[in-house]
Each structure stands twice: as C-alpha cells, then as structure tokens.
Amino acid sequence: MKVASENDLVSIKKFSNRPIKEDVDFYMIIMDGERLLGYAAVTLPCDEFAVINELYILPSQRGMGLGDGLLRATLNAIDLKGIHWILIEGHKELNSFLIHEELSPLNKDEIPFELTSSLKKWDKDYCYKEYYYCQPREFFSKKCKGSKMIRR
C-alpha cells in the first residue's frame, strides 16, 4: 500500500474505467506487483478534515482484509497531515464494511461540535449523501479487526 504517484494514476484510470477526479488531493493504492487491487481517493477541503470519496477493492480480493488495510493506511496518511476528522462517503456496497469498522454514520442531528464547525468551511451540502466519520487517533486506539490475543 502506498500513496499513488503520477505514474500510478494511469493504473487507477484503467482500473476504475472512470476519469481521474480533478478535486482528489491524493490516492492510496494497493498493488500486487504490477496489478492494482484497490484504491482510496482522498479530498482535503480544509486543514481540519478530509473526505475519503472512494474506497474500493476488487470484488475478487474482498474478504481477505485488504479493505481494512487500505482504510488504515489511508487514515494513517491523513493523520500524518495533522487532520483530526475524516468523512467517508458511503454507498450501498460500502456501508456494511464501514459499520463493521465501527465508523459512525454522520447524522445531522448528532454531529460532534468540533466537526460541525469544520464542516461549515466545506462548500458541499453533506446532508444529502451518506457519510461516516471518525477521528484517526480514536480509530487507531482500537485493535485491528483481524488481530487476536496471543496466549502465552
């Protein structure tokens, strides 16, 4: 897993069969040699929060922990930028994964105050899409879904 280089953008374009989005600030990718297995697209609307617009793993590669790894690598890359809040754009195929990862649905009636003030700086109407949110430090304080206790 790595942050995509300019050369990797060609692979993403072929992989997703969609044009590269101009407003994406960076992509995190999973490679197996030369083969792209998945990617995350990240937008940084301001220095207080980030948006993961896409999180995608090839259907043939799902169920092996790659989604968890990609999410963690992406959250870590965002956390290293000093960003405290992350929104993840959900959709029908992704929502159960995000719930499994214990991310919170963005309910307009229960948004934490600190996040609400950051969202006011965003020029999109986030209430009309499904979003989930987390704070990277809080997310990383929990064990990985695949980890098990080692008994001695």
pTM of the model: 0.85
Q: Does residue 25 surpass a pLDDT of 50?
A: yes
Which residues, other chains included, contact 46 with Cβ-Cβ below 8 Å and sequence gap of 6+? 118, 121, 122
Segment 107-151, tens digit of pLDDT: 777 888 888 878 877 766 666 578 898 888 888 887 665 544 333
Q: At 127, is the secondary structure helix, strand, or coil?
A: helix
Segment 36-77, tens digit of pLDDT: 899 999 999 888 899 999 999 988 888 888 999 999 999 999
Segment 79-92, tens digit of pLDDT: 999 998 999 998 88
Secondary-structure breakdown of the chain: helix, strand, coil percentages, each rounded to the nearest 5? 30, 25, 45
Give 7-12's long-range contacts (Cβ < 8 A, gap of 24+). Answer: 8/36, 11/36, 12/36, 12/39
Q: Which tokens is 152 given?
A: 């001695």
Q: Which residues of 14-25 are buried (b: 16+ CB within 10 A; e: fewer)?
A: ebeeeeeeeebe
